[in-house]
Amino acid sequence: MDPSTMGIIVIVGAAFLGFAVTYFVGKKSAAKAIAEADQKVKSLLDDAARDANGIKKEKLLEAKEEIAKERRKLDSERDSKDSKLRNFEKELNKREDGVESKFELITKKEKQLASTETEFTRREEQLREKSKEVSTLVEEQTNRLERITGMSREDAKKYLVDNMVNDAKAAGAQLVKDVRDEAKQNARKEAQRIVLMAIQRTASDHCIESTVSVVNIQSDEMKGRIIGKEGRNIRAFEAATGIDLIIDDTPEAVVISGFDPFRRETARVALERLMQDGRIHPARIEEVVDKVRKELEEELIRVGENALMELGIHNIHPELVRYIGKMKYRSSYGQNLLGHSIEVAFLCGIMANELNLDVALAKRAGLLHDIGKCIDRDIEGPHAMLGMELVKKHKEHPLVVNAVGAHHDDIEMESPIAVLVQAADSISGARPGARRESLENYIKRLQQLEEIAMSFEGVTKTYAIQAGREVRIMIEPDRLDDLRADQLANDVAGRIEGEMEYPGQIKVTVIRERRSHAIAK
């Protein structure tokens, strides 16, 4: 055999033998792997079965606990309801017992009432018999008197009544006349004596303040320095003081205009100091204005203390002392408020002394009666009520608090001191020269007030009273009901606010009165 062929046969045989060996070895390995996989699957199935049994047991335990919990809850609710039911039954039994006792009591009272009615009927019968006996006796006496006097019963009665009535009328009329004449005479003399003595012993000077102040300057050249470059100085001055600075052609004078006297005084003093110093620029203006304002605030305290020393008033709150000092820079109808308050305090003290009242409290109430006018203007309300709240806040005497709030009839007066404060306020404001408003302007304001009220439909009459502080309106009851009357009061008040200028407040009172008349003929 050819050697090459032989080599090929050997190679083929070797390959076949390797293939056979590989086949038998792989088959054995595969069988082993399959056996191992089956073992793993069996193990996993056993683990899964054990886990499933554990979860099942846990869920069963949870379900049992939940059932037990619900059972306990239901038992608790049942016990609660049973308790409520037992309580309700006890309450019901208690009420039934109460009803039975009340029924027994009513039955007992009915028996007593029946017995009382029987007794009352018996006594009524006795009284009727007694009344017949008395009537018989009266009739016998009357007949006997008629025979003696020769007059019938009606004639005698008329004669006696006429005489008694005439005598009583004459005596009563004379007594009323005597009392009225004596009271008028004594009241007139006493009132004149008190008022004259008060006016004689109080002579406070009053000045009419305006809304402008004039500051003299050294030369017209100073006006340019006050205005500053492009007006920066004058703008800074007006911003710092809150007033208007008027620089016109008036020689050697600058006008300061503002409604607040305190700000106006601050601006006047600050401007004078700036002109003396010569350094006029925005920073210096703010510095000087702040300094002057602080000095004037301290001056308010001194002014208030001087007023208290003048009146002999002590132990007043420091904050009220500052408000009293602020009165120096307030006015009412052109009358300086501090001077007016001091005068009212003197008048109250004098009249209280004459009437044997507490002079110290009267002076205190008179001085503080208008202190509400010094409160900031952004707070709304009548000055009497604002002042009352202020003095009440600072622990003033209750009689002083009431006098401050009642001096314009905003609240009811609780003491004679409140009446004295109202009277002294009227005396101080009504004396000649005290206030700026003329009689003509005053009458015009009252007429305008009544005309506004009369312009509404259904109004029959209007009356301006309380010196123009109140207007009373009479309306036709057939045309306007109560609701329309309330609306009318609001409408009139709105018209007054929009069309009139007046100090303080005006009270609008609408009166709806129905009168029925008949004539007996």
- Mean pLDDT for the stretch of residues 407-418: 84
Residue listed under structure tokens 């202190």: 371
Strands 253-257, 331-332: pairing kind: unpaired
Per CATH, 202-311 and 442-512 having the same topology is answered no
Which residues does 273 contact at the CB level (< 8 Å), separation at least 6?
288, 292
Residue 312 has pLDDT above 50, yes or no: yes
Strands 335-336 and 331-332: antiparallel
- Angle formed by the axes of helices 359-368 and 337-354, nearest 10°: 160
Tell me, yes or no, if the pTM score tops 0.75: no
Q: Are 198 and 350 in contact (CB under 8 A)?
A: yes
The average pLDDT across 325-349 equals 81
Out of 172-186, 315-329, 466-480, least confident range? 172-186
Separation CA 433–CA 28 (nearest Å): 141
Residue 245 φ/ψ, nearest 5 degrees = -105, 115
Q: Which of 45-54, 406-415, 430-439 has the lowest mean pLDDT?
A: 430-439
Higher pLDDT, 118 or 171: 118
Burial of 258 (0-12, 13-18, 19+ CB in 10 A): buried
CB under 8 Å to 349, separation ≥6 — which residues?
311, 359, 362, 363, 366
Q: What was the pLDDT predicted at 204? A: 43
> What is the rounded CA–CA span in Å between residue 245 and residue 275?
14
Instruction: Give the whole-angstrom CA distance, residue 344 versus residue 338.
Output: 10
Residues 6+ apart with CB under 8 A from 371: 320, 323, 324, 327, 341, 387, 390, 391, 404
Q: Is the pLDDT of residue 242 over 80?
A: no
pLDDT exceeds cutoff 60 at 400: yes
Fold of the CATH domain 327-436: Hypothetical protein af1432 (1.10.3210)
Residue 481: C-alpha distances to residues 4, 285, 510 (Å): 145, 63, 11
Per-residue pLDDT reduced to its tens digit, 129-147: 888 888 888 777 777 777 7
Per-residue pLDDT, 374: 80
- Across the chain, mean pLDDT equals 78
Which letter does DSSP use for residue 456 in this model?
Answer: S
Asked if residue 59 has pLDDT above 70, the reply is: yes
Model pLDDT, residue 483: 82
The answer to whether residue 404 scores a pLDDT higher than 70 is yes
Q: Distance of alpha carbon 307 from its chain centroid, rounded?
A: 31
Tokens of 139: 């009739």
Q: What is the pLDDT of residue 103?
A: 83
Give residue 440's pLDDT: 60
Sign of CA dihedral 9, 10, 12, 13: positive
Tally of CB atoms within 10 A around 88: 10
> What pLDDT score was predicted for residue 208?
35
Give me the pLDDT at residue 92, please: 86
Q: Please give the pLDDT value at position 5.
A: 67
CA distance 336 to 347: 16
Q: How confident is the model over 294-306, as a mean pLDDT?
A: 83
pLDDT value at residue 195: 63
Q: Tell me the three state secondary structure of residue 395.
A: coil
Residue 200 has pLDDT above 80, yes or no: no
For residue 203, pLDDT over 50 is answered with no
Q: Where are the beta strands (DSSP E) in 326-480?
A: 331-332, 335-336, 459-465, 470-475
Percent of the chain beyond pLDDT 90?
A: 0
Question: Tell me, what's the pLDDT at 206?
Answer: 36
DSSP state of 504: S
pLDDT band at 421 (very low <50, low <70, confident <90, very high): confident
* Bridge pairing between strands 470-475 and 507-512: parallel
Q: Please tell me the predicted confidence (pLDDT) of residue 25.
A: 60
Return d(Cα 164, Cα 210) in angstroms, integer: 70
Q: Residue 432: pLDDT band by 50, 70, 90 thresholds? A: very low
**What residue type is assigned to position 48 of the chain?**
A
CATH number corresponding to 442-512 = 3.30.300.20
291 Cβ contact partners less than 8 Å away, ≥ 6 residues apart: none
State the Rg of the chain over Cα.
53
Banded pLDDT at 332 (limits 50, 70, 90): low
* Per-residue pLDDT reduced to its tens digit, 76-101: 888 888 888 888 888 888 888 888 88
pLDDT score of 376? 67
- Per domain, the residue ranges of the chain are 153-199, 202-311, 327-436, 442-512
What is the average pLDDT across 484-494?
Answer: 88
Residue 471: is its pLDDT beyond 70? yes
Choose the weakest-confidence range: 7-21, 244-258, 350-364.
Answer: 7-21
Question: Is CATH 3.30.1370.10 the right assignment for the domain spanning 202-311?
Answer: yes
Contact between residue 244 and residue 267 where contact means Cβ atoms under 8 Å apart:
no
